[in-house]
Amino acid sequence: MAEIKIIDRSFMVSRKRGNGTLRYEVWLDNDAVSRYNLAYINHLIFSGDNGRVLGYDNRHGHHRHFKGTVESIDTANFEEIERRFEQEWTMVLEEYNAQRSR
């Protein structure tokens, strides 16, 4: 079976919540995740890297982007990566909103 893209979605984060865009792209091959790209984009928080504040992908090995830095990650388990991404982008917004309210 050939690789197929099963998720291609973008979600806007409301201005009240902190702004930005969540981007999810996932491909399957033989019923397993073969490629993924998860990103939180917000030019108000970080203007470099096309506004990508946080991201996970496996284009060149499994790695994490955070405000322009890239680091390898130990796991290739997509469910764990997705869970980490959800927790981290939420924490980034909480920190950003706390700073804005000062």
Cα dist from 23 to 1, 20, 73, 91, 100, whole Å: 26, 10, 19, 17, 24
Q: Going by C-beta distance under 8 Å and a sequence separation of 6 or more, which residues neighbour residue 69? A: none
pLDDT at residue number 84 = 96
The pTM assigned to this predicted structure is 0.91
Per-residue pLDDT tens over the stretch 62-80 = 999 999 999 999 987 999 9
Among residues 50, 49, 2, 59, the alpha carbon closest in space to that of 25 is found at 59
Q: How confident is the model at residue 16 (pLDDT cuts 50, 70, 90)?
A: confident
